[in-house]
């Protein structure tokens, strides 16, 4: 064993909204790279806590439930089960996939609000808002329509007229009506809301962001912009007049004047990272101390490295709002150490669109190909530095070349050659010479580069290095040419094949964070006893000794035919069925 330093790593992925199945752009922007990082760190022997959840509160969930003709709680429970199942089939190895509607999150959200209020970071603001008697609810700006007083456009929204772009106040509208029911039975009522005084924490946040010199520019530039743009960081409302959400309470106490209100979804959603860890403890018969050691720096979390994954649209909440909640609480909660943010993945020249059903959604992806194919392509093309582009041609080429030709075919040619010349066991005879030493040394340096990229969460670079590691096997085999050696010097061929067979379990372990299912098949075929990470190539490549039995596996990957590609291209171009 080399170094045995064991770190503790807390990983969270931005939590997907509950209404509906996410598309591949959502997947590659948070959950998938988070899973890569979690799997890699577990493989290196670190202690990992990987948490995700569904984000269930807010108006869209209510509307989606209404559309489905179900009570919102029932709708959310069903959708959570569906999303959980799909995540599982994609190999997303969450330690827990929680729900922001959990009791744990309710209690924690109320707790944070109480702490913030005690510390003076909550302001109560009275505002006038439009109330719809027919709908029995307040109408947020965009749920009111009417005639624009400026240009006469009759479908102006409460916040802005789309026709003349003039900003409006809902009370400016002529003949206002509810966008939900169309009712004109509206009245202006005074209502009170809570605001998180982010502006009071601005300097603290600014200094904190400044201290994060190793963060991606995408992350810090967005944070800086919100901190300094215009009048600087603004206070934000954290409550809404809705039914579905965390009831507003000050800790466990009622909050006078806030009866019937709930916390706004952006306030309670990130708290679910903590609550989700508590849910993990509950689900696994653990104690509070077991989850608190990940989150409370006074209870063991001071040596935890906390890494968040998210798309760029989520950066403001994670660099400012959620940290403001943590800082303002005055309690020793763990702040994020590193934020890995992603740009968007575009689909065939346009955007993935949930509303238009454009692109490939997670369930559809698994209908047509195994998870590994998607995982590999998406991760090796992750939109790290700029928006990236999914095209079916690129996808087909990447999968066929990298997975089928380079990796899959390597396993195939080595195992089949061995079976035909030596039988299905690792052959004896010969010894490793200069060519073998050169390969081992090359792989050792590539291994170190691969690890460095994964440690730095450089996803695409890690994928490229992994691919180079696969290619090294083919290069070696081509140069060593055991099929030629076998005719004149069978012992030499045996040595070459012995090393080549040993490459397979090493490839399996190194590739597992990207393509866990194929890795599993490789290990099973080779009947490998250990799945330990190959810290040293020299020893890792002699794990399978002469006489070790194996089986020739079925082809690991099937190539994508042109006909299939064109069929899918057609199928996913338009509207989701």
Partner RNA sequence: GGCGUGGUAGCUCAGCUGGUUAGAGCGCACGACUCAUAAUCGUGAGGUCGAGAGUUCAAGUCUCUCCCACGCCA
Task: Give the list of residues 6+ apart from residue 277 with CB closer than 8 angstroms, or none.
Answer: 10, 49, 51, 96, 291, 294, 295
Measured from the CB atom, is 343 or 451 closer to RNA?
343
Q: Which is nearer to RNA, 119 or 353 (CB)?
A: 353
Nearer to RNA, 200 or 406 (CB): 406
Least Cβ distance, residue 249 to RNA (angstroms) = 29
In whole angstroms, the minimum distance from the beta carbon of 120 to RNA comes to: 26
- Residue 367: how many CB atoms within 10 A of its CB? 9
Q: How far is the CB of 417 from RNA (least distance, A)?
A: 3
Compute the radius of gyration of the chain from its Cα atoms.
28
**Closer of 301 and 504 to RNA (Cβ):** 504
Q: Say how far apart CA 432 and CA 141 lie, in whole Å.
A: 74
**Nearer to RNA among residue 82 and residue 471 (C-beta):** 471
Closer residue to RNA (CB): 87 or 463? 463
Kindly state the smallest distance separating residue 89's Cβ from RNA, in Å.
21
8 Å CB contact between 292 and 299: yes
Q: Where are the alpha helices (DSSP H) in 369-408?
A: 371-380, 392-398
- 509 contacts 530 by C-beta, under 8 angstroms: no
CA nearest neighbour of 458 among 216, 221, 212? 216
Q: Which residues contact 59 (CB under 8 A, 6 or more apart)?
A: 140, 242
Kindly give the pairing relationship between strand 8-13 and strand 304-311: parallel
CA 173 to chain centre: 42
Beta bridge partners of 129: 189
Q: In 416-492, which ranges are E strands?
A: none
Report in angstroms how near the CB of residue 292 gets to RNA at its nearest. Answer: 35
Smallest distance, Å, CB 403 to RNA? 7
Least Å distance, CB 227 to RNA, is 11
| Nearest to RNA of 307, 388 (CB atom) | 388
CB of 243 to RNA, least distance (A): 25
Minimum distance of RNA from residue 488's CB (angstroms): 12
Judged by CB, which is closer to RNA: 77, or 471? Answer: 471
Q: What is the DSSP string of 170-231?
A: GGG-EEEEETTT----EEEEEEEEEEE-GGGGHHHHHHHHHT-TTS-HHHHHHHHHHHHSTT
Q: Give the nearer residue to RNA in terms of CB position, either 50 or 470.
A: 470
Residues at the interface with RNA (CB under 7 A)? 165, 167, 217-218, 221-222, 225, 229, 312-313, 343-344, 351, 381, 383-389, 391, 394, 397, 401, 404-406, 408-409, 411-414, 416-417, 420, 460-461, 464, 471, 474-475, 477-479, 481, 483-484, 555-559
Report in angstroms how near the CB of residue 309 gets to RNA at its nearest. Answer: 17
Least Å from the CB of residue 325 to RNA:
20
Measured CA distances, 59 to 56, 125, 240, 540 (Å): 10, 21, 10, 54
Classify the C-alpha dihedral 197-199-204-205 as positive or negative. Answer: positive
Give the dihedral sign, CA 428/507/450/513.
Answer: negative
Question: What is the C-alpha to C-alpha distance for residues 186 and 208, in angstroms, rounded to an integer?
Answer: 45
Q: Give dist(CA 246, CA 264) in Å, integer.
A: 8
Which residue in the block uniquely carries the two structure tokens 């061995």? 418
Q: Of 79 and 477, which has the nearer Cβ to RNA? A: 477
Minimum CB–partner distance for residue 564 and RNA (Å):
14
The answer to whether residues 275 and 322 touch, using CB atoms and an 8 Å cutoff, is no
378 in Cβ contact with 365 (< 8 Å): no
| Residue with Cβ nearer RNA (46 or 224) | 224
Residue closer to RNA (CB basis): 346 or 444: 346
Q: How far is CA 300 from CA 10, 289, 291, 305, in A?
A: 13, 9, 10, 12
């Amino acid at each position: 064993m080399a170094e045995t330093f064991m770190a503790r790593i807390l990983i969270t992925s931005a939590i997907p909204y509950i209404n509906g199945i996410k598309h591949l752009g959502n997947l590659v922007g948070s959950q998938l790279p988070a899973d890569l990082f979690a799997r890699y760190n577990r493989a290196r022997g670190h202690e990992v806590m990987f948490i995700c959840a569904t984000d269930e509160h807010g108006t869209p969930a209510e509307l989606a439930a209404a559309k489905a003709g179900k009570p919102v709680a029932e709708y959310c429970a069903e959708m959570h089960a569906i999303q959980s199942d799909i995540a599982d089939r994609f190999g997303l190895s969450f330690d827990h996939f929680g729900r922001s509607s959990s009791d744990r999150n309710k209690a924690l959200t109320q707790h944070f609000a109480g702490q913030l209020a005690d510390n003076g970071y909550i302001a109560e603001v009275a505002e006038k808002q439009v109330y719809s008697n027919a709908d029995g609810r307040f109408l947020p700006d965009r749920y009111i329509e009417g005639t624009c007083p400026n240009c006469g456009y009759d479908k102006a929204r409460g916040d802005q007229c789309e026709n003349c772009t003039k900003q409006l106040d809902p009370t400016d509208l002529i003949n206002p009506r509810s966008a939900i029911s169309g009712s004109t039975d509206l009245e202006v009522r005074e209502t009170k809301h809570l605001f998180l005084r982010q502006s009071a924490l601005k300097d603290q946040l600014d200094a904190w962001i400044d201290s994060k010199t190793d963060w991606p520019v995408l992350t810090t530039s967005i944070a800086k912009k919100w901190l300094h743009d215009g009048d600087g960081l603004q206070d934000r409302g954290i409550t809404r007049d809705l039914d579905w959400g965390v009831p507003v309470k000050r800790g466990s106490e009622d909050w006078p004047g806030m009866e019937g209100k709930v916390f706004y979804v952006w306030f309670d959603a990130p708290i679910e990272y903590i609550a989700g860890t508590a849910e993990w403890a509950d689900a696994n018969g653990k104690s509070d101390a077991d989850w608190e050691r990940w989150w409370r720096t006074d209870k063991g979390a001071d040596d935890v490295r906390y890494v968040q994954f998210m798309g760029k649209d989520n950066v403001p909440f994670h660099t400012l709002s959620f940290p403001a909640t943590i800082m303002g609480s005055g309690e020793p909660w763990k702040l994020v150490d590193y934020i890995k943010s992603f740009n968007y993945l575009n689909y065939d020249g346009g955007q993935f669109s949930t509303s238009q059903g454009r692109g490939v959604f997670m369930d559809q992806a698994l209908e047509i190909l195994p998870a590994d194919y998607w995982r590999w392509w998406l991760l090796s093309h992750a939109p790290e530095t700029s928006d990236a582009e999914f095209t079916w041609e690129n996808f087909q080429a990447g999968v066929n070349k990298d997975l089928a030709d380079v990796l899959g075919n390597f396993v195939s040619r080595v195992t089949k050659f061995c079976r035909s010349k030596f039988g299905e066991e690792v052959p004896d005879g010969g010894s490793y010479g200069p060519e073998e030493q050169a390969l081992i040394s090359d792989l050792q340096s590539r291994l170190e580069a691969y690890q460095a990229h994964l440690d730095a969460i450089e996803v695409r670079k890690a994928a490229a290095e992994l691919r180079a590691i696969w290619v090294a096997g083919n290069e070696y085999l081509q140069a060593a040419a055991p099929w030629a050696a076998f005719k004149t010097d069978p012992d030499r061929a045996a040595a070459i094949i012995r090393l080549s067979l040993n490459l397979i379990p090493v490839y399996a372990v190194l590739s597992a964070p990207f393509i866990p299912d194929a890795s599993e098949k490789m290990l099973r075929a080779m009947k490998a006893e250990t799945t330990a990470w190959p810290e040293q190539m020299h020893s890792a490549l002699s794990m399978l000794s002469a006489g070790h039995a194996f089986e020739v596996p079925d082809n690991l990957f099937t190539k994508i035919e042109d006909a299939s590609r064109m069929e899918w291209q057609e199928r996913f171009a338009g509207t989701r069925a």
